[in-house]
Structure 1
Amino acid sequence: MEEKKDQWTSKLGFILASAGAAIGLGAIWKLPYVTGMSGGGAFFLIFVIFTLVIGLPMLVSEFIIGRGAAREAVSAYKKLAPDSMWVWVGRLGVLGCFLLLTFYSVVGGWVLIYSGMSLPGKIISDGANYEALFGSVAGSPGITMFGLLLFTIINVLVISMGVQNGIEKANKYMMPLLFIFFIILVIRSVTLDGAMEGIRFFLAPDFSNITAESLLYALGQSFFSLAVGFSCMVTYSSYLKRDVSLTSSAGAVVGMNIFVSLLAGLAIFPVVFAFGLEPAEGPGLLFMVLPAAFAQLPFGSIFLSLFLLLFLFAILTSSFSLYEIIVAAFTANGKFSRKTVTWILGAILMVVAIPSALSSSTLAGVEIFNKSIFDATDYLVSNIMLPLGSLLIAIFIIHKADKALVKEEYQLGGKGTGNMYSLWRALMTWVVPITIVIVFLNTLGIVRG
């Protein structure tokens, strides 16, 4: 097996980077509001179960493909299945990451702007209309484009420095800070008067509120929260040394993802309930409900700043993985330098992201299938391309990849994994693909919960 020139310096660096790729909008933004809309504790418990049964096997699969080929996403499928159409799985991942970045970077820009505004305490004020404030940020072409530019520049600077000096170093600082900030917020949140009602809502399962639709929501959330489906983890694991256990690494990433999801709920719901706010607010929970809640806390501006900064760290560590899969694909043949490709990619992304950035302002009236450009791009990536990519990866790892190589990679660096390998293979053969198809059909409206 040939070595990669650029590799993670340690297993910890790889785990932190992979966890950073997984922990983003899904864990900190989407999960709390979807949990709020779906009944609380029972939904979160089901989400954890699905993450272990569906998400974890998929993550292991991408790890196996990446390190087994020692290639980035496109070249990995080309090497493991030469002269076949399977290379398009990697290409689909590159395209999906590019489209995802066009609206992910817009949200990242909003969080950057909010973070900057929160530091001097300009967000929280007496009688503030937080819905109008968010509207003024998202609805301003100048502010949105400025945020998009800053977010893009940060990503380009980090990615251009490479795997070890860029991505790994950034994650080694940002991920521990993320956990420290979260723990501070959780301690403050759970010690509020009336916080216990929020804790009970989030952690005490009440299955009377669970419907078939809630199960599908939990399934989709668990699946999409681990950054699997676009072969990002194929690229990340291709930089991994041979003496590292893929299964224990995947377990650590999943464990950190569930832990962050737990912290997000404990940071948010006690505050929401303590001040009599609505937990089922939806996507506006971050930008509208939480500022209103923190405004009622002593030193609320400081706690809001901490929350926005940790959210910014989570978005950045995820966007690094999206950038990396694209940059790695275009630098694999050695014809172009990493820095050149990264800066060109950043410039192209800025241009292509403009329609999504202006969806709430200049292009507010433009719709695609009754959705704004921003929402239509999100729907295409999250509900069509991601499950399609995931299904193809599940089929590839079981029916096309060399079985001996797959088993060797699964067991390498681990002990006593024979029975677990059989369980993983059974899950990937039947449970995972069938589940993906059900979620896919549900998102398309063909099957309803």
Structure 2
Amino acid sequence: MAGTSSTERGSWNSKLGFILAAAGSAVGLGNIWAFPTKVATEGGGAYLLVYLVCTFLIGFPVMVAELAIGRKSGKNPVGAFKSLSSNKFFPLVGLWGVICGVMILSFYTVIAGWAFGYAFEEIFFYFGWDAGANWLTDTSNGFRNAIIAAVFMIGTIKIIVGGVSDGIEKATKTMMPLLIGIIIIMIGYVMTQPGATEGVREYLLPDFSKITTGLIFSAMGQAFFSLSLGMGALITYGSYLNKKENIPQAAAMVTLADVGIAFLAGLLIIPAMYVAKNAGIEIFVGDQLASSTDLVFQILPALFHSIGGAAGLILGVVFFLLLSIAALTSTISLLEVPVSFVIDEYKVPRKKASWGVGLGVLVVSTIVAFNTSLIGTFDYIFSNLGLPIGGLLTCIFVAFVWKTDSAITEMEYGFAGIRQTLFSKVWPMFIYVICPLAILYNIITNFI
């Protein structure tokens, strides 16, 4: 167990703890608002179907590779590539993952702060404290953005200081069931409202004529980002895995958890949009559905306000707390990656590493808070391009440097008969050919 004054790495207390932590890393704001909006605008049920296929055919094999690298090396992304090969290039791939995670965290805390602030805005609106409500919803206010982002970051740091089992695992064991429970309760309420049925049809009924190359690669990009691949998070989490754990099984459970929560989020958000439409709230801009940001920070608050009374207050507060919990489960993993790097490579005690790295990222977050136009730029460079590049290079490393056979040997711990299964025959083909080609096409498309 990693103490706050120790450089010991720690480990998960249980498989459930790992699965919830890894699923928490994967489940974030992208699942709760970006995914439902993409489903609604890019093909409804058709997009949902393609997303599910991409998650298991592209995301799952890469996740297995990252977990195997992490457990075999027992190190952070940089140390992992160093320990598994004398090749000087691939530690830079690990460093790139660390950098991507840091830069994503720098703007993620600002957006998470918006969600956290809106939970209190619902309370202020209910009591008629208009000045306070307006201040909390002014996302162009750099001072406001910086203050709430700082609160969010400090909460994340305090969890990371606790270490793997007493910090990350304990927190996610509480937050993940709470998150799922909140989503299910809100779905139950929304489904009773006028207009919800239209949203369910839009979400679940596929229009196969909308399946195009663009839709497929959009869904693949969403799957890749939502699983936290390419940034070293799963290499880091894998490094805390016990040898007795079955890596493919654990990866499958994490993937199922991520997909399941994304599905539930869509079942909440899209019907809620059509409930808002039924209440006279505009959800379209011309012929296009409103953007995910407008949906979360304009349309849904307007819906909660139109409901009014205690019901509107409770729904609004609970929804934005849901977003805050989802964001926190992701910021934990985003911060743990660079903290693990500092602990491993520089032998810094966990408490000092957590506060040092966290406050360093907060400096960048403060710059973003006063220049929110940077969010789009950072998201494009470090999420849309950075993560697929990291995933592509990880596939190349496992296929041609460390070798898939070495990875399968590592997986034999916890899965003794793996070489006699179909998985051991099929998985290398995905790592050698299918995943790299699909990811490369996605990178080129994003770049163009």
Query: TM-score under structure 2 normalisation?
Result: 0.90
Equivalent position SS for 1:332? helix
Check the 8 A contact 2:142/2:371 in 1, yes or no. Answer: no
- Residue 327 of structure 2 is matched in structure 1 by 315
Residue 383 of structure 1 and its aligned partner are, at CA, apart by 2.2
Equivalent position SS for 1:288? helix
Deviations 1:80-121 (A, max 9, x none): 013532111111111111111111111111112112333x25
- Structure 2 Cα separation of the partners of residues 208 and 336 of structure 1: 55
Q: Work out whether 1:340 is the aligned partner of 2:349.
A: no
Check the 8 A contact 1:124/1:291 in 2, yes or no. Answer: no
- Residue 364 of structure 1 is matched in structure 2 by none
- Residue 110 of structure 2 is matched in structure 1 by 106
Counterpart amino acid of 2:353? V
Check the 8 A contact 2:397/2:403 in 1, yes or no. Answer: no
Check the 8 A contact 2:31/2:262 in 1, yes or no. Answer: yes
- Residue 410 of structure 2 is matched in structure 1 by 409
Counterpart amino acid of 1:345? V
- Residue 172 of structure 2 is matched in structure 1 by 171
Q: Which shifted more, 109-118 or 146-155?
A: 109-118
Residue 274 of structure 1 and its aligned partner are, at CA, apart by 2.6
Q: Work out whether 1:19 is the aligned partner of 2:23.
A: yes
Residue 6 of structure 1 and its aligned partner are, at CA, apart by 0.6
Deviations 1:392-442 (A, max 9, x none): 001011111144431122343236542112111111111100011111011
Alignment of 1:78-227 (within 5 A): 78-118=82-122, 120=123, 122=125, 136-227=137-228
Residue 444 of structure 1 and its aligned partner are, at CA, apart by 0.9
- Residue 385 of structure 1 is matched in structure 2 by 386
Equivalent position SS for 1:7? coil
- Residue 366 of structure 1 is matched in structure 2 by none
- Structure 2 Cα separation of the partners of residues 402 and 217 of structure 1: 29
- Residue 283 of structure 2 is matched in structure 1 by 278
Check the 8 A contact 2:276/2:299 in 1, yes or no. Answer: no
- Structure 2 Cα separation of the partners of residues 134 and 245 of structure 1: 50
Residue 269 of structure 1 and its aligned partner are, at CA, apart by 1.4
Runs (5+) with no aligned partner, structure 2:
1-7
Counterpart amino acid of 1:213? G
Residue 355 of structure 1 and its aligned partner are, at CA, apart by 2.5
Change (3 A) 1:97 1:275: closer
Change (3 A) 1:134 1:18: farther
- Structure 1 Cα separation of the partners of residues 100 and 377 of structure 2: 13
- Structure 1 Cα separation of the partners of residues 111 and 128 of structure 2: 23
- Residue 324 of structure 1 is matched in structure 2 by 336
- Residue 367 of structure 2 is matched in structure 1 by 355
Deviations 1:264-306 (A, max 9, x none): 1111111211332537211211111111223344602211211
Residue 62 of structure 1 and its aligned partner are, at CA, apart by 0.4
- Structure 1 Cα separation of the partners of residues 87 and 442 of structure 2: 31
Counterpart amino acid of 1:278? I
Q: Which shifted more, 216-225 or 391-400?
A: 216-225
Check the 8 A contact 1:37/1:282 in 2, yes or no. Answer: no
Query: TM-score under structure 1 normalisation?
Result: 0.90
Change (3 A) 1:124 1:198: farther
Counterpart amino acid of 2:187? V
Change (3 A) 1:195 1:134: farther
1:441 to 434, 439, 444: 444
Q: Work out whether 1:429 is the aligned partner of 2:438.
A: no
Check the 8 A contact 1:124/1:301 in 2, yes or no. Answer: no
- Structure 1 Cα separation of the partners of residues 315 and 72 of structure 2: 44
Runs (5+) with no aligned partner, structure 1:
361-371
Residue 227 of structure 1 and its aligned partner are, at CA, apart by 0.1
Q: Which shifted more, 192-201 or 333-342?
A: 333-342
- Residue 4 of structure 2 is matched in structure 1 by none
Change (3 A) 1:68 1:116: same
Equivalent position SS for 1:169? helix
Counterpart amino acid of 2:363? V
Check the 8 A contact 2:117/2:137 in 1, yes or no. Answer: no
- Residue 73 of structure 1 is matched in structure 2 by 77
Identity of aligned residues (%): 34
- Residue 295 of structure 1 is matched in structure 2 by 305
Equivalent position SS for 1:192? coil
- Structure 2 Cα separation of the partners of residues 31 and 227 of structure 1: 14
- Structure 2 Cα separation of the partners of residues 69 and 221 of structure 1: 28
Residue 214 of structure 1 and its aligned partner are, at CA, apart by 1.9
Aligned length: 427
- Structure 2 Cα separation of the partners of residues 123 and 282 of structure 1: 26
**Is the helix fraction higher in 1 or 2?**
2
Residue 329 of structure 1 and its aligned partner are, at CA, apart by 0.5
Q: Work out whether 1:239 is the aligned partner of 2:240.
A: yes
- Structure 2 Cα separation of the partners of residues 274 and 124 of structure 1: 24
Deviations 1:21-53 (A, max 9, x none): 000122112101111221211111111111110
Equivalent position SS for 1:287? helix
Check the 8 A contact 2:143/2:370 in 1, yes or no. Answer: no
- Residue 57 of structure 1 is matched in structure 2 by 61
Change (3 A) 1:303 1:444: same
